[in-house]
Structure 1
Amino acid sequence: MPVAIQLFQRKSDDNPVFLPTNAPYTWMLAKMYFNNADACIHECASQLLFTHLVLECFCVASHRRLSASHPIFRLLEPHYQFMITTTHLATSVLLDPGSLLDNLMTGGRKVAMEILLRSWKEWRFDVNGTLPKDMEARGVENQEVIFNYPYRDDAMLIYTAIKAYVTTIVQGHYDEPEKLTNDWEIQDWIKELVTPAPLGFGIKGIPITGDQFTNTNEVIEVITTTIFICSVGHAAVNFNQYDEYASPLRYPLFLRGQPPKSAQIELTESDILQHLPSKYIALETAVLSQTLSTHGTTSLGYFSELFQADPISIPALQKFRQTLKEIEKTIDIKNEERKAKYPYLHPTKLPNGIPI
């Protein structure tokens, strides 16, 4: 529950602190403008950049550097299904001049590109992309302090299961240190990911020594986070979009006019209506968010094409599926106890990759 809102970063006479004790519609408009800013960040950074665009780098590098028979290629490939096609379509549909974000988001394409550029400079694989570190960096890891955080609680269950699955396969294939250090394919793969552009992708914060893997723990961390973002990370910021964006009062991607600059003026319902988007923009936003909220691949751990057929991976995959079934039961129990159910990370509805 918000206790206070200040809409701009610099203190000034026309940048007041809004409170729940202000006039109801004044407080409502302050919340709407906060959510508008949050929606712009969500759509451009959380949803597009930190899942689609980041993971496309890993997908492209895998196809460039790893042979189709490589165990890490076979481990990752089911999670890359549709990724390049989807991301190619998404960037043009969302970011081109006259595109959806250009028309449906406050500030349009110019603001979207600025958000992408600023966010990319700050994002790190080992902090923002890795679930436990992300929780710790944002100060939300302690369940006793913040006890009602369904994303954290459900995501940690699945992150742990993914890591156990990946650990079995990685340690099984690299049971001797020399097998990893002498594997030029995986070393070229990680080198391309960390090398700055234009020779590489310039992913910051990948937990390796220099530009090489030196031990299996490094490989496990990178692969676990990659699969996690493809499945859980994308699902958490994607499949709830219709629930959030469909009402422009709840989570407006576009608002007209200027944010309120006085907490003392008593606004009316008519004032709120003046800031809402047009009927066309509201409907187009609802259609876009409904489209983005659809599911398009088989559920996590169940692949339309099985790439892994070796004696190390098959038992690991079977155990992973069994663990996911146990997590399903746990989340079902949690949702019965929650005031509002959180269905987005239920393993039966959790895709392997980024289909849309």
Structure 2
Amino acid sequence: MVVYSIRISTGVSLAAGSINKVHLWLVGQHGEAALGDLLRPFRGKEEEFKVDVSEYLGPLLFVKLQKRHLLQDDAWFCNWISVQGPGEGGAEYRFPCYRWVQGSGILTLPEGTGHTVVEDPQHLFTKHREEELQERMKLYRWGNWKDGLILTVAGKKLSDLPADERFLEDKKIEFDTSLAVGLANFVFNLPKNAMASWDNPDDFDCVFKSSYGKLAERVRNSWKVDAFFGYQFVNGANPMLLRRCVNLPARLVFPPGMEELQTQLEKELKGGTLFEADFSLLDGIKANVIHCSQQFLAAPLVLLKLQPDGQLLPMAIQLELPKIGSTPPPIFLPTDPPVVWLLAKCWVRSCDFQLHELQSHLLRGHLMAEVFAVATMRCLPTIHPVYKLLLPHLRYTMEINLRARNRLVSESGVFDQMVSTGGGGHVDVVKRAGNLVTYSSFCPPDDLKERGLLDVKSSYYAQDALRLWEVIYRYVEGILDLYYKTDAAVREDHELQHWCQEITETGLQGAQDRGFPTSLETRAQASQFVTMCIFTCTGQHSSVHLGQLDWFSWVPNAPCTMRLPPPTTKDATMETLMDTLPNPFLASLQMTIIWHLGRPQCVMVPLGQHPEEYFSSVEAKAVLRKFREELAELDKEIEARNESLDIPYEYLRPSLVENSVAI
């Protein structure tokens, strides 16, 4: 007889424990042993016991477990199982689980070292890999939210999602409570706000709360300032539109009398200090109708000059594209009457709100992460090192996205109720934006180079994105180097190749013509692709998510809709401005939703700090430890830099970056 010591850890969520008995088996290279019904697992407990086995099983490969019940199937959330081999110096084997055990089927957990399909010459794990992926293909199916968009997970209701993709109780309670509190405040305050007389933008104070933070209050006080307007393109909630001009934009047609402006722009262009933010994506999008009232959209072009001190100042705003045979649209200037110039800037800010939420946030953050999540679950078994690398960064993404499709961008959802691109226009925007998605735009070193932002010292987004990308890349490279010793090992890993192909050809609906690879040929290419996935799910999403409460709380700085058409003359008045901006109802609703989605999260896992341990080897744990050390160092560097900044840039601080798209 030989003795094995077993430890079993149960999750801490409210329903993690189970009244059902759990039966275990140990599977080693030399045999298999049934251990019988060993426990009824208790929530948050780590239980330990010893078992006698008739003979030594050899190096352990799997633990199998089965939950048995008579009357009630009570799901159990198992964190991990650890087995200490016989003898005083017996090897310890760790079997990560971190999932729900349901029903009466047998769940097989492979030992946590991780193996690629190439690293298994004796085919010890081949059958398990194949069977697991067959089951996953049935459980995780591709869905199509709207024709012409990248794919999502199949399912229309939260109950359609696999149990392991659902919020745990703490997350669900916090999320639902926040929404209920926000809506209650909206209903309570609406009569008071609606009865108030709103004569100028300062009256939006009725729906603004200074408790939303120092920067939100700074926005309220400074939103009219040109330098503050320009700052948002480099370090605001949506730093993804700005690019350096290499030519004057083709859409820029100068009306008569604008020769001086053309000369100024050409001078800045020649000096490399002319930048643009082009909203042409919105041209022709059908605007929403809210409460029987037609709303309006524009497609602005903003031209800005970079000052020697790093400030970015707007030089000109064109609100609409020229139409053939029509008079060129007006170009608004800082020298125009103050209300006219302010109205033009409000139009830009409203359009930035649209593209932020639909292109930068929904598409490039949430929907892209969901493609990675579904492809990973369909193509990579739990034993695969890339699965282990990615899984912590895919947590809760499917549920938060399904909630968004059912409440935010659904028919009669939030966008239809308050946003000028609602009523179907928002879907068209996402479709157009999806057709422009390129691989290089998801890799900051390439994206920032293409947009001419690498040497813009006042772009803290660019600086921090590059540094965070490099830290994540070293982490990914460190892990992959443990499993892929040659480029050939990457090419021969058919699971990895299928995963890459599934993302590009299936999930992204044929994005290979926009640079996304369909195969990974080298270790460097594999490291870049996996880094792209993790950065998108963490840093990139946080860079456009965390700023919402700061920059969108003051409604005139980010109007959710515009109630009058864009001006075609320069005779606007304060009454015109107020009639264009959202009314009290829409402003109140905007504040409610922005608070719910942008508030600091009580249930939040910072980048790299996930408690789950999917790798059991000493070498892989050392790489993760080094990753965490580099993240902590970067966090301190950003904190120190921010102390000297007039406006601290915090959206890529590792301690504030969420570990997955979970909100």
The Cα shift of 1:10 comes to 1.2
The Cα shift of 1:215 comes to 1.0
- C-alpha change, 1:48 and 1:42, in structure 2 (3 Å) is same
- Other-structure match for 1:289: 594
The more displaced of 94-103 and 75-84 is 94-103
- Other-structure match for 2:533: 226
The Cα shift of 1:2 comes to 1.1
Identity of aligned residues (%): 28
The Cα shift of 1:176 comes to 2.9
Counterpart CA distance in 1 for 2:376 and 2:384 is: 10
The Cα shift of 1:160 comes to 0.7
Candidates 164, 181, 186, aligned match of 2:474: 164
The more displaced of 88-97 and 23-32 is 88-97
Query: Does the 8 Å CA contact 1:194/1:206 hold for their aligned counterparts?
Result: no
Query: Does the 8 Å CA contact 1:235/1:344 hold for their aligned counterparts?
Result: yes
Question: After superposition, where does 1:193-204 map in structure 2 within 5 Å?
Answer: 193-196=503-506, 201-204=509-512
Question: After superposition, where does 1:225-304 map in structure 2 within 5 Å?
Answer: 225-263=532-570, 265=571, 267-294=572-599, 295=601, 296-304=603-611
Question: In the alignment, does 2:334 pair up with 1:27?
Answer: no
Deviations along 1:278-335, one digit per CA (max 9) or x if unpaired, are 2121111112112221334311111032222223321111111111111111101211
- C-alpha change, 1:341 and 1:304, in structure 2 (3 Å) is same
The more displaced of 69-78 and 96-105 is 96-105
- Other-structure match for 1:331: 638
The Cα shift of 1:343 comes to 1.6
Q: Secondary structure at the match of 1:147?
A: coil
The more displaced of 227-236 and 306-315 is 306-315
Query: Does the 8 Å CA contact 2:317/2:344 hold for their aligned counterparts?
Result: yes
Counterpart CA distance in 1 for 2:520 and 2:443 is: 18
The Cα shift of 1:31 comes to 0.3
| Alignment-mate amino acid for residue 472 of structure 2 | I
Q: TM-score, normalising length from structure 2?
A: 0.51
Q: Secondary structure at the match of 1:4?
A: strand
- Other-structure match for 1:190: 500
Counterpart CA distance in 1 for 2:535 and 2:411 is: 32
Counterpart CA distance in 2 for 1:196 and 1:203 is: 9
| Alignment-mate amino acid for residue 251 of structure 1 | A
The Cα shift of 1:259 comes to 0.8
Counterpart CA distance in 2 for 1:183 and 1:117 is: 33
The Cα shift of 1:130 comes to 0.9
Candidates 390, 400, 413, aligned match of 1:86: 400
| Alignment-mate amino acid for residue 450 of structure 2 | A
| Alignment-mate amino acid for residue 340 of structure 1 | I
Candidates 603, 622, 628, aligned match of 1:321: 628
Counterpart CA distance in 1 for 2:506 and 2:652 is: 34
Q: TM-score, normalising length from structure 1?
A: 0.93
- C-alpha change, 1:72 and 1:85, in structure 2 (3 Å) is same
Question: In the alignment, does 2:314 pair up with 1:2?
Answer: yes
Counterpart CA distance in 1 for 2:509 and 2:318 is: 37
Counterpart CA distance in 1 for 2:341 and 2:348 is: 11
Counterpart CA distance in 2 for 1:318 and 1:131 is: 24
Show structure 1 runs of 5+ residues with no match: none
- Other-structure match for 2:89: none
Q: Secondary structure at the match of 1:255?
A: coil
Counterpart CA distance in 1 for 2:416 and 2:516 is: 36
Counterpart CA distance in 2 for 1:10 and 1:105 is: 25
Candidates 306, 329, 343, aligned match of 2:613: 306
- Other-structure match for 2:441: 128
Counterpart CA distance in 1 for 2:656 and 2:615 is: 22
| Alignment-mate amino acid for residue 428 of structure 2 | E
Query: Does the 8 Å CA contact 1:14/1:262 hold for their aligned counterparts?
Result: no
- Other-structure match for 2:362: 48
| Alignment-mate amino acid for residue 520 of structure 2 | F
| Alignment-mate amino acid for residue 454 of structure 2 | E
Query: Does the 8 Å CA contact 1:328/1:348 hold for their aligned counterparts?
Result: yes
Question: After superposition, where does 1:107-146 map in structure 2 within 5 Å?
Answer: 107-125=421-439, 127-142=440-455, 146=456
Query: Does the 8 Å CA contact 1:57/1:201 hold for their aligned counterparts?
Result: no
The Cα shift of 1:182 comes to 2.3
Q: Secondary structure at the match of 1:128?
A: helix
The Cα shift of 1:207 comes to 5.2
- Other-structure match for 1:212: 519
Deviations along 1:230-266, one digit per CA (max 9) or x if unpaired, are 1110001111112122122111121111111113x1x
- Other-structure match for 1:353: 660
The more displaced of 154-163 and 180-189 is 180-189
Counterpart CA distance in 1 for 2:614 and 2:416 is: 40
Normalized per residue, the structure richer in helix is: 1
Query: Does the 8 Å CA contact 1:191/1:212 hold for their aligned counterparts?
Result: yes
Counterpart CA distance in 2 for 1:311 and 1:206 is: 36
Instruction: Give the superposed CA RMSD.
Output: 1.6
The structure number with the bigger radius of gyration is 2
Q: Secondary structure at the match of 1:140?
A: coil
| Alignment-mate amino acid for residue 233 of structure 1 | Q
Deviations along 1:36-81, one digit per CA (max 9) or x if unpaired, are 1111111111000011111111110100010011100000000000
Candidates 449, 465, 485, aligned match of 1:175: 485
Query: Does the 8 Å CA contact 2:504/2:516 hold for their aligned counterparts?
Result: no
Counterpart CA distance in 2 for 1:100 and 1:131 is: 31
The more displaced of 55-64 and 186-195 is 186-195
Normalized per residue, the structure richer in strand is: 2
Q: Secondary structure at the match of 2:618?
A: coil
Query: Does the 8 Å CA contact 1:165/1:316 hold for their aligned counterparts?
Result: yes
- C-alpha change, 1:164 and 1:312, in structure 2 (3 Å) is same
| Alignment-mate amino acid for residue 221 of structure 1 | Q
The more displaced of 335-344 and 12-21 is 12-21
